[in-house]
Amino acid sequence: MIKSHQSAAARPHPVSLRRRGPVLERAILESALEQLSTVGWHGLTMEGVASGAQTGKAAVYRRWPSKADLVADALRAGFPDLDVAPDHGSIREDLYQLCRRTRDAMLSRSGSALRSVIHECDGATAERLHGLIVTGVIEPSTRLFKEVVQRGIGRGDVRSDIAGELIFDVIPGIMMYRTKVCGSEWPDEELAEMVDQVMLPLLRPARA
């Protein structure tokens, strides 16, 4: 009988799936975001996160002693990039492009995770995470809207007397309401309608 065999040199070496340090931490944070976006705050468990990251539960608890600690870091890692305001030469186009960016962030995995935290977690946890949400999402997005409006004032296509913080809540407020209550996924044409029918009449100078 002829026996087939491989030499030691020819045998494939097993690939180690063991991860450490930042690589493992990133996998855990990604798994936490996935859990939040699919099963929500109440459904998220440390065991489920560990399973999604293909690691042991002990590896999660060594880094994050509680669910809230893990969620805070996962949200922080998943926040959208809100550094640069669009500049396309007109208030209409700038607002439209900023709305598209906001829409994409809201419908992303991190956006779904953030909404689950806002709407599901208990009061104590919501208070703990409130500062993170303000500094990571609300303040940066408001700053971009203000920058777009101020640039529009400088070009003369926005009223110079526009004032008050409420004007900067209009777009996020409408988008959150229609996303949560009406199930809208904000196709481009709806964004354009919101800009044309709501924001421009509020912002543009009155015609003589």
| CATH number of the domain enclosing 107 | 1.10.357.10
Same domain, 61 and 156: no
pTM over cut 0.85: no
Binned at pLDDT 50, 70 and 90, residue 18 comes out as low
What whole-number distance in Å separates Cα of residue 1 and Cα of residue 5?
13
CB 135 within 8 A of CB 179: no
Which of 77, 102, 118 is where one domain is finished?
77
Residue 5 inside a domain? The answer is no
Same domain, 30 and 116: no
- The two structure tokens encoding residue 156: 């003369």
Beta-carbon neighbour count of residue 77 at 10 Å?
A: 14
- Average of per-residue pLDDT across 164-186: 88
Same domain, 129 and 51: no
Residue 16 inside a domain? The answer is no
CB 196 within 8 A of CB 92: yes
Same domain, 49 and 117: no
Residue 175 inside a domain? The answer is yes
Which of 58, 77, 96 is where one domain is finished?
77
Same domain, 84 and 182: yes
Residue 165 inside a domain? The answer is yes
Same domain, 171 and 128: yes
User: Which is higher by pLDDT, 22 or 9?
Assistant: 22
- Position 27 scores a pLDDT of 95
- Position 24 scores a pLDDT of 95
Residue 7 inside a domain? The answer is no
Same domain, 73 and 95: no
Range of the domain at 159: 79-203
Same domain, 67 and 154: no
User: Which is higher by pLDDT, 47 or 14?
Assistant: 47
Residue 84 inside a domain? The answer is yes
Instruction: Give the CA angle between residues 84, 90, 95 to the nearest 5°.
Output: 55
Same domain, 96 and 108: yes
Same domain, 187 and 86: yes
Same domain, 30 and 107: no
- Position 2 scores a pLDDT of 42
At residue 28, does pLDDT exceed 50? yes
Same domain, 127 and 67: no
DSSP summary character for residue 66: S
Residue 109 inside a domain? The answer is yes
Residue type, 191: L
Residue 11 inside a domain? The answer is no
Instruction: State the total domains in the chain.
Output: 2
